[in-house]
Chain A
């Protein structure tokens, strides 16, 4: 009886989490005529028209590839730069270590809106408006605090003796970084990579401000500004939402353990 109750509660929680997405999926399969009718909840004549339409009638392919380029580059660059910094903070003899960590943490608390106006002016002056490059560099710096914070906590969990032993064996500082410490913290690096990727895939404020055409427009902006002739194309929006969320859902199912590790390392252990 208690068990049954427990599983019913689990079912409610799952429905709460999945319900809205499920409804978006159902909507994406409904032909336009059925969108303005309730009941029935399920489509009478399910169709893939909306999926065809977002790729045929809209430059959706371009938008997705922009997002992929931005998210992958950001993830790569922040991991390279961030892991170097985290290594120094975790294993090297750096002066004012605490001060640097507090600085990094406080940077992550800065409201993005407070930097968007000068950044816009700079980017316009440099002629980088409407390029993926503007987004990559901005995202990289905003994801660096998180990257450094999580990786420092992972690097610290590697016994210091291992680092010292590698130095005694003749590794330079840099060699012991990429030959010893990096491979040992692969799970942490992976967790960080997923978090940074999701952040860059989902970011909206800077993307909205710095992009103006499909040349650099990313998914969130593409969906927010979904063009409709007379009325809002709910079916197409639903199809687009389903498509762009699938990679994230796959990530959530495949790597839930890693993601939760990353999230908790980023907040609780610190």
Chain B
């Protein structure tokens, strides 16, 4: 979890003894992506730039630069919004800024609703850094859903391996991590990892999964290794692309 620089007036928003209605308490229930909120925060900061308040929010440049991260949480947005609000103050005469601030608060509220319904985290894979983000998200998600450290490590490693395969063989693609819920709609039953790309496909899939294949670069073990780490594993491949879907059961499945 990223730690923001404490700033007078905003710092209190991070104190752990806040009532349960705080953004942090609500956010602890579930992680999710709030890319829309991030875009809105960036928009607000653009309005602030060049204005007289900008001096006061300069300290928040670092958190704002992180808003592009796909594993963003609502706690990443809250301080930026509060910084904007306190910088703008009552004397603010910029209608645009006030409008974007209220839009921001609206998005933050809506994110809380999404937190209960959206269970999927999608990561575009274009660089090794994207893989790290997906991997960290997978680890946290699995741990939050009650997976043991070992099983959470399995899931995160699978995300990493499949992400690497995408990067190496297809150039780019997408990794999605989602929690499959039980009928009660709350308890996690399994974590699903889906890796998709539009690469050339895997012509020798059966050889790879039989374990008798070993590529010169040392790749190739990623797919078989992932299969060994998971409870369910499925590969759909054609010259138009590949989709790998894997499932790791939650404790109590």
Do A and B originate from a single complex?
no
Interface residues of A (CB under 8 A from B): none
